[in-house]
Amino acid sequence: MTTQLTRRHSLKLITAGTLAGLARRESLQAENSGSKPVSDAWAQTHDRVWLGGEFWANPMEDWRVSEGSVECLNAGPGRSVHSLTHQIMQNGSFTMSVTTTRLEALKTDGGAGFRIGVRSEINEHRSNCFVQKGINAGWQGDQLMLGPKMSVLKDGAALKQVRLTLKGAPQGEKCVLTLIAADAASGAELATLSHEVAADQILGNVSLANNFAAGAVGAAKKGKGKGAATGGGRYRFQNWTLEGAAFTISPQQKFGPILWSMYSLSDSRTKDGFVMKISALTGPLGAQDNHEVELHIKKDGAWKSLGTAKLDPDAWVATFRVPNWDEKKAAPYKLVYREKHKDNSETPNEWTGTIKANPEGRPLRMAALTCQNDYGFPYAPVAENVRKLDPDLVFFSGDQIYENHGGFGIIREPAEPAILNYLRKFYQHGWAFREVMRNAPTLCLPDDHDVFQGNIWGEGGKKMDVGDTGASSKGGYIEPARMVNVVHKTNVAHHPDAFDPKPVLQDISVYYGDMVYGGVSFAILADRQWKSGPEHVDTGGGGRADHVPDANFDTATLDKPGLILLGERQEAFLKQWAQDWRGHKLKAVLSQTVFANVATHHGGPDGYLKADLDSGGWPQTPRNRAIELMRPAMALHINGDQHLTTLVQYGVEKQRDSNWSFCTPAISASYPRWWRPDELKMPHTNRPKHGLPDTGEFIEGFGNKAYVYAVGNPVVGQAPNRYDKAHEKGSGFGFITFDTEKKTYFIESFRFLIDATDGNASNQFPGWPVTIQQAENRGENVLG
């Protein structure tokens, strides 16, 4: 079935994680210490949602800059604002102050003030932002509170505003904390409280807290923007100052105003020549903020402006399209956003990188990634490995977010708060991978979880008629079309122009088309946007309309006339694309998921399923038609979604007569899947020469022909460390080298917690790496 991690391997993981932590600690210690007071810039910031590059708000949609301060809009538990540039990394003196104003109190006053010592098990500033535990220090009703201690704050329940100051003083292996409450106007001291803690308890992030009770912050919200507010209070914070030797200051950890960028470079094979498109993403800005981004390119040693682009007021994306790009030379770029302040001053923010030269005359190297559940955030082993490998192209095949990202649930409607809810979650994607995307062309497909659905059965943009907050079994989109279009724009605005940009139902945008780069043509598909929903068929009961749990069920009955996979428009595109060989020698199809049902167990080791309609193996007839359209292209199909890496050759008329599929590992696998046909005694023939279990020619659960050459089954993830757990669950990434001269695809499937550059054979899942000849994608097989 599966193998447990050996003790030797487990020690390797622990060592790797420890070394990464030590390296980061040494880097931080090299930064400036916080000896000078630093204050927030909110007094000069225009009213808006986004608080500024120095901060992370939990959740973003519940906070606003308002009248020179930041205000929490929601009286629910666990709301906080983290400093991104200041962390306490050593036992030393520090002082923080903030003016706190109570705006309203509901059934109970949850209090407000500071939280320090906020850290995850890896104590990394991004991961720390989502931790709800630490040492609380603040004002709650008529009490001052500091850790477990409370003291009376005279007339505290009637006070509207208090200036809070928290001081830390090292005392051997201890730190003495002192909290002072003062009248905000006069500065007169109102109360003080002290508490001694172990020095390591103060290490980590520092934050402002609105309602100290953490409560349940993961429940889904379906309301009208503010969500449930059953108790607690709402506060406003201003003039937050931080100083002291305990702080390590890392200004490079700012996140924004330009959060990150994504670009593509493609031979249009028209008068436009090579077209470079680049998007800059910012946080949600206000009406009085600057709404333009400027693009500069360095040419002959000097920066040249290519003009400005307006930020989309929903997606907060500014996109540039530059035709007749000189693809033969690498070109440094900078995106400039000039932040306007209330006093009419400006602060320029620059995001820099390099547009790579078209990789002519050598193999093209592509990283392929999918599915990033945030228990593994910020996925540093994967992000760092991809950065070190320096690919020519990066491909994300979907599920850049899951509904649980960052906690606080989801907002279904109306569109405006739902969009903010989505953006906040999507920003974790850029936060983790922006260094990867800075210099490499990036293709980024949205999938089901990106639009808050367990599955997409898009049915051409139909509006879903019945709400379903889980794994949807209804056709259409549950989210407002305006929100779906934001998801598309944030992911694909920088993609090459769509083949046919005509929207589908509800005016939902489309993005299918091709990119020609490095002598390779990539067909970009949306394999769920037109797909039929399972409500059109009867899977025999068993709880979910998209699951077939009965091994004896005849899945041939599910192949009904009129069912859709890619839809007529994408099929017409594929047919034309397969015959068009201008400007390239190799082809690849990029889509969300594999066109076969190569998982026998779902959710848990005992969760047997004969067939899963969410896989690309259903509906069978349009699946076969899609493969027949792909076959003349001799294209490798690269996809993700399954949380289970596989290398499979499709069969239609007979085994192994069609294209190969590489399903990449999840970046951070959540819902687990396994392919364990040997255990089930599923018949197979022609096991590959390597003799690995669970491989060979199979008739999978829908009756499709599939030659499984390699599979990366996980173990049950139980490790307390997020990176060890992701490794156990079969996480990692894919890497494909396209050799246009030899006409080969060299395919690698890397595990999560490894060094991809050290050449260790155990870095990859069993059966990889593999070289496939171009003609093998139409059944002229060499690999055995």
Average pLDDT, integer, range 398-402: 98
- Asked if residue 341 has pLDDT above 70, the reply is yes
Which pLDDT belongs to residue 158?
A: 83
| Token reading at 622 | 């349009």
Q: What is the amino acid identity at position 14?
A: I
The pTM for the full model equals: 0.94
In 3-state terms, what secondary structure has residue 128?
A: helix
pLDDT on residue 228: 43
Across the range 650-657, mean pLDDT stands at: 98
CB 487 within 8 A of CB 446: yes
The stretch 694-702 carries a mean pLDDT of 98
Per the prediction, the chain carries an average pLDDT of: 92
Predicted local distance difference test score (pLDDT) of residue 731? 98
What is the per-residue pLDDT for 214? Answer: 56
Tens-digit pLDDT profile for residues 83-138: 999 999 999 999 999 999 999 888 788 899 999 999 999 999 999 999 999 999 99
CB atoms near residue 107 (< 10 Å): 11
- Confidence band, pLDDT 50/70/90 cuts, at residue 6: very low
Residue 21 has pLDDT above 80, yes or no: no
Which of 372, 414, 401 has the alpha carbon at shortest distance from 490? 401
Predicted local confidence at residue 15, as pLDDT: 39
Which pLDDT belongs to residue 470? 54
Q: What integer is the mean pLDDT of 555-571?
A: 98
pLDDT at position 9 is: 43
Residue type, 118: V
Residue type, 129: C
Cα 284 from Cα 686, distance rounded (Å): 56
pLDDT, tens digit, 9 for 90 and up, residues 427-459: 999 999 999 999 999 999 999 999 999 999 999
Phi, psi of 435 (to 5 degrees): -70, -30
Residue 35 pLDDT > 70: no
* pLDDT value of position 519: 98
Across 245-270, average pLDDT? 97
CA distance 480 to 73: 23
Q: If DSSP codes are grouped into helix, strand and coil, which group holds residue 782?
A: coil
Q: Is the peptide bond before 619 cis (omega within 30 degrees of 0)?
A: yes
Angle at 496 between CA 492 and CA 499, to 5 degrees: 100
Reported as a single tens digit per residue, the pLDDT across 756-778 is: 999 999 999 999 999 999 999 99
Instruction: Please compute Rg for the chain using Cα positions.
Output: 27
Is the pLDDT at 467 greater than 70? The verdict is no
Q: How far is CA 120 from the centre of its chain?
A: 19
Query: Does the pLDDT value for residue 34 go beyond 90?
Result: no
- Would you place residue 717 in the very low, low, confident or very high pLDDT band (cuts 50, 70, 90)? confident
DSSP 507: G
Which whole-number Å values give the CA distances from 519 to 115, 229, 410, 522, in the listed order?
A: 54, 56, 42, 10
- Closest Cα to residue 565, out of 371, 373, 704? 704
Q: What pLDDT does residue 232 have?
A: 84
Q: Rounded mean pLDDT of 37-48?
A: 92
Phi, psi of 453 (to 5 degrees): -130, 140
- How does pLDDT run across 162-213, given as a tens digit for each residue? 999 999 999 999 999 999 999 999 999 999 999 999 999 999 999 999 998 7
Mean pLDDT (whole number) for 625-641? 98
